């Protein structure tokens, strides 16, 4: 999961994933919206591929890049566990403040 969060830390890689969420693309198609060179985008793709977030296929002359959402789902579940913790903590704080207000104490 460290590789997934490391890959997601970069805004260019997040933008590439957002584009791939719309469908597969060639490297040249991924280069187009950025002011970056093809080798730079390829380096980003290698990081994403190393994290298991993308895969490359073979279709005649070109190798389309595809999104692999499974690692994102795993990261989301992990974050979700902490979200429940914070939601429960905030619910307890809210109940405590309401109790103080009911007793007439300043909050």
Query: DSSP character for 55?
Result: E
| Residue 62: pLDDT over 80 | no
| Residue 88: pLDDT over 90 | no
What pLDDT shows up at residue 105?
64
> In this predicted model, what pLDDT tens digit does every residue of 70-82 receive, in sequence order?
999 999 998 888 8
Mean pLDDT of the 9-14 span: 96
Q: 54 - beta bridge partners?
A: 67
Of all residues in the chain, the percent with pLDDT exceeding 70 is 95
For tokens 């469908």, name the residue.
23
Mean pLDDT of the 21-31 span: 93
What pLDDT shows up at residue 60?
65
Place 44 in a pLDDT band, splitting at 50, 70 and 90: very high
At residue 55's C-alpha, the angle toward residues 43 and 25, to 5°, is: 80
| Residue 68: pLDDT over 80 | yes
């Amino acid at each position: 999961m460290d590789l997934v969060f490391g890959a997601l830390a970069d805004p260019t890689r997040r933008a590439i994933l957002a584009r791939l969420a719309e469908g597969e693309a060639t490297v040249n198609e991924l280069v187009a919206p950025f002011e970056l060179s093809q080798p730079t985008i390829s380096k980003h793709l290698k990081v994403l591929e190393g994290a298991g977030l993308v895969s490359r296929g073979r279709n005649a002359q070109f190798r389309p890049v595809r999104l692999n959402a499974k690692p994102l789902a795993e990261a989301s579940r992990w974050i979700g566990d902490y979200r429940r913790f914070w939601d429960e903590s905030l619910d307890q704080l809210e109940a405590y403040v309401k109790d103080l207000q009911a007793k007439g104490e300043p909050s």
